Each structure stands twice: as structure tokens, then as C-alpha cells.
Amino acid sequence: MTTITDPPKESFRLSQLIYDTRYRSLTFQAIAALVLALSIWYLGNNLIQNLRAAGLNISFDFLGDTANYDISQRLIEYDSQSSHARAAIVGVLNTLLVAVLACITATIFGVIAGVLRLSNNWLVRKLMAVYVEIFRNIPVLIWIIIIFTIMTAVLPGPRAFRGDDATSSMVLGSFAFTNRGIYIPAPIWGPGSMVVVATFIASIVGVFAYRRYTTNLLYATGRLLPVLWPSIAMLLLPTLLVFVILGKPIGLDFPELKGFNFQGGIKIGGPLIALWFALSIYTGAFIAENVRAGIQAVSKGQTEAASALGLRPGRVMNLVILPQALRVIIPPLISQYLNITKNSSLAIAVGYADITATLGGITLNQTGRAIECVLLLMLFYLTISLLISAFMNVYNSSIKLKER
């Protein structure tokens, strides 16, 4: 008679943490984390003791003191009597503004230049190569200074818009390009304006949903629906219809020359334009090479097969090549977005009040709280960089090949 019994349970021994391959990697990771935590604690404690011995202490109370300096380019209300904390918030918003704008335009420049670098037209291909080689091999700080100098030296001052033909001197009678910046009409939000904005946002979502539907339908059945004109209609018609029905609740405040400067509208300062454009064309040259490498990583047979099905070159690029190239393009693109965000700290060279110029510049000099200001700067850039990396990694995971 044979009986089946459970195998004897193996008792756990401390030696397994080192010699057992099931636990060894976890043991080394735990030891490394402990050493790192102890090192940080030791350095922090040493810093606090040295500061205390020197009669100093880490305090962030200075953020509540009056800033006593003005900031011309700002997205929220601010004056010289505001606190250092509010000045820092203005700097944070200004940094995020130029970073977002530069990421968008650099991506547009990079994608266009990267695709055109592979054009069959010799002249176009060489022009894009010249653009890439020139802009990526000259430091971005030089481009910032060059663009800012051109704006202040070439564009006319507000006095050039005086006289009866002042409006005719403006572009379309609404945009004034001066050496102090660009003045554009500002929206006037009336009752019901948020409904129009919500409709426009819903239209954008609808356009993406429609384009996704047409792509899935093409892949599933081979049926090709028109995309361009339906997308334009979906984007504009609902918003215009709601705008008219609600009695045109959104108006425009046009800039007008009053005294020695323009009043009304929105002023986009020269430092912002110089920083924005320089970061865009500089980083766009690197993105162009990423795009070119991603496209060339796709097998040439994919293009030939798509062309054999009768797809136009534009459709081949949008539906076959770029979706596959994105898996190669996105990882280095994350680094370029991080570079744009960090390179925005060069704004101080042209007087743009980003977080480095406010918190790390004027506030630091006025209060003398160097350690606190630098710690806050490090925390801000670290947080923004991690958020960008997390978002782009999620997107990268969503487009990668799904293995069965």
C-alpha cells in the first residue's frame, strides 16, 4: 500500500538571502536602498549642524515677505507689493508657458524637417540638412540672443504706428509687431462664452474620435473615408453655430496706440518670443533627426506594400510609416522635451521672468536665502521632469507592439 504525503517544508535560513538566487537580488537592492537612505540622512544632518553652528537655519518664511519688484510678462495678477511666493508662482507659470509652447512648435518643426530630409527632391532634402546641421551645432543661448537682438534692432518702435494710418501699419489692422513685443487682440468673455469654449473643446475631441474611427475602419475593412474636410467641418461648424445662437458672447479687445505705447489686447514680450522661437528651432533640429531615424527604421517593404494597395504617399506616411516609426521616435523625444524644460532657465539672458529669474535670481539676492531657493528650484525642475517622463512613458506604452 502506497501513501501520498506532502513533501517536507524547507525551513528558511538567513544564508538564503545571499546564496539563494530567489532572494539575492532583493537583498542587494535592500542593502543599496539602506545605504542611500543613510547617506542622505548623514549629509542632511551634517548640513543642518553646520548651518546651526554658523547661526543660520533653514526657513521658508521669506516667501511671505513683500517682493518689491515688478514682472512685465505674467499670466496672473501681480504687482511689486505681492509676496515672494506669488512672484515664484508667476515664474513657475512663465516657465510652463514657454516650455509647453516650445514643445509643441519644436515637435511641428522636427516632424516636418525629419520627413522632408527623406524627400525625393534634392533641393528640399539638402535645405533640411542645412537647417539641422546649423541649428543643432550652435548653442541655444546664442540663438536666444540673436533672435532677441534682431527683434529689438529690426522691428519698429511704437512711435512708428502714430498718425492717421496707424491701423493700416498693423498686420490685418489688429497685430502690431514692435521692438517691445507683439500686440494681438485679447478675447472679451461675455455671458455664455464658456458654452462656446466647451463646444470647441468637444469638437476637438470629436475630430480625434472621427479620425480614430476612420483609421480603424480602414484597417478592418479597407474602406477609406474622407478625413480632412469632415474634420474641418466638425471643428468649426458646431462652435460657430453655438456662437451665433448665443448672440456672439465672445468679443475682441484690439490693441491701440495711446501715448507712448499700445493699450489693450495682449502683449507677447520680446524675451518670450526670443526664448520660445530659439528653443523651438534648436530642439526641432534634434527632433528632426529622431524622426528621420524612426522612419528609416521601418522596413522599406512596408512602404512598397502600402503603395501596392493603391494608397497615396501621404496616406502611406500617415497610416503605415509614422505609426510604426513612433515606437522609435518617442523614447528620444522624451529627452528633448526634458531639455526644452531645463533650457528654459536660460531665459534670464534676455530678461524673461521664469522661475530661475524670479525665485533663483531676484528673490535669492534680496533675501539671501540661497539654500532654500535652490532647494525649491531643484524640487520644481525635478517634479516637472518626472511628470513629463511619466506622461510620455504612458503614451509610449500605449503605442508599443502588443505581443500575444
What the chain holds in terms of domains, given with CATH numbers, is: 84-153+269-399 (1.10.3720.10)
Give the pLDDT confidence score for residue 248 in this predicted structure: 86
pLDDT at position 2 over 60: no
CA distance 336 to 107: 9
Q: pTM of the predicted model, to two decimals? A: 0.81
pLDDT at position 166 over 60: no
List C-alpha distances in Å: 318 to 44, 287, 303, 323: 53, 18, 11, 7
Q: Is 10 exposed, middle or buried (0-12, 13-18, 19+ CB in 10 A)?
A: exposed
Tens of pLDDT, residue by residue over 49-90, are 887 787 777 788 888 889 888 888 888 888 888 899 999 999
Give the mean pLDDT of 335-356: 91
Amino acid at 252: L
pLDDT at position 234 over 70: yes
Cα angle for residues 152, 170, 277 (degrees, 5° grid): 45
Q: Which range scores top for mean pLDDT: 172-186, 189-203, 246-260?
A: 189-203
Give the pLDDT confidence score for residue 164 in this predicted structure: 52
Give the pLDDT confidence score for residue 76 in this predicted structure: 87
DSSP 171: B
CA distance 133 to 213: 39
Give the mean pLDDT of 295-321: 80
